Structure 1
Amino acid sequence: MDIIISNAGGVPIYDQITRQMKGLILRGELEEGEALPSMRLLAKELRISVITTKRAYEELEREGFITTVPGKGCFVAPQNPELAREETLRRVEEHLSQAVDIAKVGGVSLAELSDTLNILYGDD
């Protein structure tokens, strides 16, 4: 599992871990039932605090992406297709919101933005 931490950009480290692990799960790179590294091991590998990895794992569990089995560790939870779709839509909305803000500042009309999205999505 490759997780890359950046100290630049202002995104909290636990959030970086959470987002990347969600992506790995949603893309199927981490499969249902697969064991995750222990919080201590992940902290050691990433050279961060165990408290940070604990917070990331708690967030992932709260959102239904992982489950914790006492004494055994954390595992990828069975994925609810609706949950996965909702997470994908949330991420898309986040990026589109940024694109809309940039378009407004740059004077790009809604029609031009819509045309660009249609081209990028593959609809002619």
Structure 2
Amino acid sequence: MQFIINQISSFLKPDLTILALGADTRQRVSWTQSQKIYSLSPKKDLSDIRGFYFQAARFLKRAFRLSPDTITFDPHPNFVCKKEVDSIRGSYFPKASLAPIFHHIAHAANFGIE
């Protein structure tokens, strides 16, 4: 799978690493590393959002040596990120804590990024 990666500067502490699983419809994950925020999305739309989350996690672990302190996700029970976050953490980032953040709050936090 090929990905598109975008980067912006951030105000975060340098030692804080967060992986954010995006909305199912946006097919995006973002992460922080070295006081920068990165966003990763597939080059084309996918019908398998679950597969995207797992492929993205594997890619980030290998290519960026990502080891997040926290994984954020939308806790809505119908969202794939909610259903798969435990498996993603267990498979790739077992030391990460989980932080549920409803998507309405994430929209507000994302306002200045996109």
Q: Pick the structure with more helix per residue.
A: 1
Structure 1 length normalisation: TM-score? 0.34
Larger radius of gyration: 1
Structure 2 length normalisation: TM-score? 0.35
- The higher-RCO structure (CA 8 Å, 6+ apart) is 2
